[in-house]
Structure 1
Amino acid sequence: MPHNGFRKAVMAMAITYAAGLTTLAQADVIIGVAGPMTGGNAAFGEQFWRGAEQAAADINAAGGIDGEKITLIKADDACEPKQAVAVANRLVDSDNVVAVVGHFCSSSTIPASEVYDEAGIISITPGSTNPQVTERGLTGEFRMCGRDDQQGTIAGDYIVDTLKATKVAVIHDKDTYGQGLADATRAQLNKRGVKEVMYEGLTRGEKDFNALVTKIRASGADVVYFGGLHPEAGPLVRQMREQGVTAKFVSGDGIVTDELVGTAGGPQFVDGVLMTFGADPRLIPDGKAVIEKFRANGYEPEGYTLYSYASVQAIAAAFNGAGSTDGAEASQWLKSHPVQTVMGTKSFDEKGDLKVSDYVMYQWGADGKYKQL
């Protein structure tokens, strides 16, 4: 933000503190937007930023938060835990944020949220699904998405009931999110009587999976489940097809971006790929006007775009409802009141999880687009 705007914010917060007030400071409401703005997963950071940016613009146009404008601060963690902690400290100590939308990778969200919680700042992740994000008793940590133990159940049941698979290879990327999701899916498969024929990890950033594909082919798997993100999922599925492995490829919400097509080398390689994700928010009537606004500006609000938009809406509702930007007060309000969002009405439990999760199955087509089944 401009230097004089920053000075205004600092002065206003100092005056509020001196007066012992809990009402909103007469200054911009500064919200951080944290995620992978660079690197292999930058597509998700772009979704986060686009959604938050449009939400802030729309809320500001409608009067802001208690009459004050929202100012966003972009923070790049590159999906690296150490960088996420550095980013979190900067947002708290230098940028003076009162809330954070982020992070994306669970391995970044978990350590960064400790920083926010210690500072008494509310944070909402639009996309981190590892259960531990909300299982540590943090006061101000929320998520606008479901959990891997919910997502894994849907995936496991679909593989058994719909795909009728008996031989499943489970692959993960050794990351908090990817391995956690793979483990949740494996647990559900085992519960349903299907023991995986292979369980193995790959390394994020790796591109040559031919040796792994050879093992998959030798296992006789009729389904390959992958817990991870699109930069690895794309090359993996392409090399499977190039080696003649026709097993169904199933993954989770880490591939919900059109960039999967590019990393796979073309739509012909993603045709038939299945993935779990929340019910498509673009189909929800509550978001029609916002979706049309995105599209009129030449942007398709795919993936987590509307999740990020809804996260800003929830933060604004909490601050307005509590009459304060105090994290504890806003958090308590958010756990006690439903919020109207672009994705419909959302309610949170005491952990900060959504009370209702809506995971469904999607399939990628030959046109390089995904559709809800």
Structure 2
Amino acid sequence: MSKKLLSVSVCAAGLMLGVSHSAWADLLIGVAGPMTGPYASGGEQMRAGAEQAIADINAKGGVLGQKLKLVVGDDVCDPKQAVSVANTLVNKGVVFVDGHYCSSSTIPASEVYHDAGIPMATISTSPKVTERGLANIVRVTGRDDQQGNVAASYLARNFNGRKIAVVDDKSAYGKGLADEVAKSLADQKAKVSLRESITAGEKDYNVLVSKLKAAGIEVLAYGGYYTELGLILRQAAQAGLKLAVMGGDTLTNTELLSAAGPAANGVMFTFGPDPRKNAEAKDVVERFRKAKIEPDGYTLYSYATIQVFAQAAERARSVKPEAVQKALRNGTYSTVVGPISFDSKGDLTRPGYVVYRWSGNQYGYAN
């Protein structure tokens, strides 16, 4: 064989190897949230949903002939750690991000993904997530101003004349939700008797409990996460203070029951219509339950996020981040939480919130 022919043969082989490598390389998908720390059970819901979605998609051949591989980032719901996680995921070459969980993490992390041209979908509910005009982000849930209005309307209708306190944990999510509830209550001529804030992460909330008791508060509208609310309710019960409680979407978490004990019974919260009841989710729910995982809270929303990526890539006929990003806000996606489509900001076109109530160790629609 001549040197020229040998050179051509080697080049051809190299090109074939390059094509093969490109065709079969794993597509890295990031999931980012609190995998450790006080809100780790929320992060675990996200991880479980993403893992199952990826397993199901890969079992059907992947996306455009390429298999998906999950890369997990633990931000502990800390804004600085979230930025570090975002940079790590970008450097690892993810093409899409499912995350983050806490709005205070999602907001700064999304700037990193935006600068890197990486599309993302989040469950974070702060309006600021989509009000900054970032083209790379969509939200698979509703917003705090939407769920705040639903919560306030329920309270105004069912607890008219009761003394209401609005309390938040100072987080982007918690304060934002509490502010929206207070605003909507005022719009509906329902008086807020007490407006307070706590510091997340503390173990003693008896000062707040004393203020609630002294003011004769009967209804607590809370903006924040389940861990702190559980402690507040446990300490209120110990002080002989019985409260009707309304919170937001993070109260789907069963960790509330551990933190609050019997005081969690009757706690109300806003969340989207239960996706476990969707016909589209039946087979997926069964797979989770066979694996001894109850797909409550955000588990199926995380699953749906990966479905949205896969369908956007198929629609774009490309897995390149810039192509997926352009496709994300166009059309409707079929998911386990129902049909999903986004407006020009990246918000759901039909968010929908309903009120739930904890009873025993499970939650169901409130009357």
TM value normalised by structure 2: 0.92
1:216-365 alignment runs, 5 A limit: 216-264=212-260, 266=261, 268-365=262-359
1:67 is aligned, of 58, 65, 68, to 65
The AA in structure 1 aligned to 2:327 is: W
Give the 3-state SS of the residue equivalent to 2:281 in structure 1: helix
User: 2:27 — aligned with what?
Assistant: 29
- 1:276-313 superposed Cα distances (whole Å, 9 cap, x missing partner): 11111111111000000100111100100000000000
Q: How far apart, in 1, do the equivalents of 2:195 and 2:313 lie? A: 45
- 1:300-334 superposed Cα distances (whole Å, 9 cap, x missing partner): 00100000000000011111110122333222222
The AA in structure 2 aligned to 1:90 is: T
1:1-373 alignment runs, 5 A limit: 26-93=24-91, 95-125=92-122, 127-264=123-260, 266=261, 268-365=262-359, 367-373=360-366
Give the 3-state SS of the residue equivalent to 2:101 in structure 1: coil
Q: How far apart, in 2, do the equivalents of 1:52 and 1:38 lie? A: 17
The AA in structure 2 aligned to 1:341 is: T
TM value normalised by structure 1: 0.91
Give the 3-state SS of the residue equivalent to 1:263 in structure 2: helix
- 1:70-116 superposed Cα distances (whole Å, 9 cap, x missing partner): 000010000000000000000001x1100000000000000000000
Q: How far apart, in 1, do the equivalents of 2:95 and 2:161 lie? A: 48
Gaps of 5+ in 2: 1-13
Q: How far apart, in 2, do the equivalents of 1:351 and 1:165 lie? A: 38
CA change 1:166–1:120 in 2 (3 A) is: same
Say which one has the larger Rg.
2
Contact 2:142 2:351 in 1 (8 A): yes
Contact 1:165 1:222 in 2 (8 A): no
- Across the aligned residues of Structure 1 and Structure 2, the Cα RMSD in angstroms comes to 1.5
Contact 1:339 1:346 in 2 (8 A): yes
Q: How far apart, in 2, do the equivalents of 1:218 and 1:328 lie? A: 57
User: 1:5 — aligned with what?
Assistant: none
The AA in structure 1 aligned to 2:83 is: V
- How many residue pairs get aligned? The number is 349
Deviation at 1:165, TM superposition (A): 4.4
Deviation at 1:209, TM superposition (A): 0.9
Q: How far apart, in 2, do the equivalents of 1:309 and 1:61 lie? A: 15
The AA in structure 1 aligned to 2:364 is: K
Deviation at 1:25, TM superposition (A): 5.9
Q: How far apart, in 2, do the equivalents of 1:134 and 1:165 lie? A: 36
User: 1:3 — aligned with what?
Assistant: none
Identity, in percent, stands at 48
Q: How far apart, in 1, do the equivalents of 2:336 and 2:243 lie? A: 37
Gaps of 5+ in 1: 1-10, 17-23
Contact 2:178 2:222 in 1 (8 A): yes
